Amino acid sequence: MSPHLSHLFVSVRDLHATHRFYVEQLGLEVLVGGPDRTYMRLGGGGGFHIGFEAISAAATPTDGIEIVIRVDDVDALYEQLTAAGVAFDAPPADQVWGARHVWLRDPTGYRVSLYSTDGPGTP
């Protein structure tokens, strides 16, 4: 499997208002989480997903977009990119939701998450 976009990750101040707009008004489906949690992922029709995470009213949503890309082996890609001089926030790590992620910034400063669902250390 070659790398492919998984979903866009957006920070919002009001998850309930976001739910009302995207689910109740536009008709998207809640795939993960919900408005009473801190995160929900929406989609519909087998297409692209958008993840919304609640941030505090005091937070600045300048880091509010995260581009999420699924890859075959996040550890191998991390090693390859590190050797090429790409900077990461930290090494790849297993996450409680069952995937293995690593985060970095694109040239503009947007946060990018690379992940795989199997490989070294992934449950």
65-89 pLDDT, tens digit per residue, is 787 888 899 999 999 889 989 899 9
Q: Is residue 23 part of a domain?
A: no
Mention every residue, 6+ apart, whose C-beta is less than 8 A from residue 29.
23, 42, 43, 44
Q: Does residue 93 fall inside a structural domain?
A: yes
* pLDDT tens figures, 88-113: 999 999 999 889 999 988 766 778 88
Whole domain around residue 93: which residue ranges?
71-123
Q: Total structural domains in the chain?
A: 1
| Domain harbouring 88, CATH code | 3.10.180.10
**Secondary structure letter of residue 48 according to DSSP:** -
Is residue 54 included in any domain, yes or no? no
In a domain, 4, yes or no: no
Note whether residue 77 is domain-resident.
yes
pLDDT cut 90: percent of the chain above it: 28
- Would 29 be classed as within a structural domain? no
pTM: 0.64
